[in-house]
Amino acid sequence: MVISMYQASAPRFLNMLGNLSGILDKARAYSDLKQLKPATLPGCRLYPDMLPLASQVQIACDTAKGAVARLAGVENPRHEDSETTLAELQARIAKTVAFVEGFRPAQLDGSEDKDIVIKLGKTEVKWKGMQYLLGFALPNFYFHVTTAYGILRHNGLEIGKRDYIGNP
Amino acid sequence: MVISMYQASAPRFLNMLGNLSGILDKARAYSDLKQLKPATLPGCRLYPDMLPLASQVQIACDTAKGAVARLAGVENPRHEDSETTLAELQARIAKTVAFVEGFRPAQLDGSEDKDIVIKLGKTEVKWKGMQYLLGFALPNFYFHVTTAYGILRHNGLEIGKRDYIGNP
């Protein structure tokens, strides 16, 4: 047995997206307890020119969605970045989960050598499927989930590593 | 072709550890520019009861070291957590890189179904090799690298996503 492209992608994204939504559950309770405005926590940042919590969640979602879509060679649907509340961000996650859950292993397996082209600003970067998944999509995905966690932790939410790791 | 346990582990750890050391290069220059004490940035945190930068780097290193050691079934050497400066943290990374670089693919490949037992506090958690790597070691590794990045970013260091992703 070895690792398939499916095993290294869809179940990993789904586990972490579920954990992220659970963290947002706790953030909603915290926001209510502190009587914060609904848009306050989604707008929090670690530094003025870093993206706020809402963007971190949106990009985590889009990284997962884009990875499975590109590897499977199906259209990558555009999800508008219109969320301003924690509940809306959870709906964005749910929409992403539903999309990723729709992929069967056979759609992703065998995509190791597939040519993947990503636009990073004005530059086109070319990858093979495995390198794209392991070296770009997964590290980026974990970056944004962790940064969402860090923003909330920095703002006093009592969460711990178990909320992040979940039950993989 | 499919993904081997080696491909999903050692090269990924090595790339990110190199990127993390590069980020610490920038942090050293920043620390000098601001005339900070050598222990100031390593002691910075995102919240009082979160671990500081030094611990984030140490745990990232130990997660990489422990993963390849456990999967290969070789002794996991203990690295003391004695670093108090950025230069010492880079030496810790270099020591970890040297350890991970010592593994040949044949030592890690085939460890997908290997029984891995991890002590989390008082609890013993049992995993199969693949689940341990994809669901625990890699997410934890990226968590601590990203949190190191976030702590430095929060403290004004001008770094960007490219410093984190590097050239995978």
Q: For residue range B30-43, list pLDDT tens digits in order.
A: 999 999 999 999 99
Residue type, A93: I
**Structure ipTM over 0.95, yes or no:** yes
Cβ neighbours for A87, distance < 8 A, ≥ 6 positions apart = A28, A38
Residue contacts between A and B (CB atoms, under 8 Å): 111
Quick one: tokens of A6? 């499916």
Check: pTM over 0.90? Answer yes or no. yes
Work out the average pLDDT over B2-25. Answer: 97
Cα(B14)–Cα(B9) distance, integer angstroms: 9
Name every chain A residue with its beta carbon within 8 A of the beta carbon of B15.
Answer: 135
Please tell me what DSSP assigns to residue B3: B
Percentage of chain B exceeding pLDDT 90:
95
Mean pLDDT per 10-residue run, chain A (168 residues)?
92 98 98 98 98 98 98 97 98 98 97 93 92 98 98 98 94
Contact A139 B1 (CB under 8 A): no
Name every chain B residue with its beta carbon within 8 A of the beta carbon of A136.
Answer: 165, 168
**Mean pLDDT score of chain B:** 97
Name every chain A residue with its beta carbon within 8 A of the beta carbon of B139.
Answer: 12, 16, 142, 164-165, 168
Determine the residue of chain A that is closest to B8 in CA distance.
A134
- In this prediction, residue B137 carries a pLDDT of 98
Determine the residue of chain A that is closest to B114 in CA distance.
A1
- In this prediction, residue A85 carries a pLDDT of 98
Interface test with A, best of B45, B146, B152, B165 (most A CBs within 10 A): B146
Backbone angles phi, psi at B103, to 5 degrees: -90, 130
Work out the average pLDDT over B114-121. Answer: 91
Residue A59, SS3? Answer: helix
Q: Which helix H or strand E contains B162, and what residues bound it? A: helix B161-165
- In this prediction, residue A121 carries a pLDDT of 82
Sign, CA dihedral A48-A135-B89-B31, equals negative
Residue B12's pLDDT band (boundaries 50, 70, 90)?
A: very high
Cβ neighbours for A71, distance < 8 A, ≥ 6 positions apart = A5, A9, A108, A111, A114, A116, A129, A132, A133
Name every chain B residue with its beta carbon within 8 A of the beta carbon of A118.
Answer: none
Residue B120's pLDDT band (boundaries 50, 70, 90)?
A: confident
Q: How close does chain B come to A51, measured CA to CA in Å?
A: 11
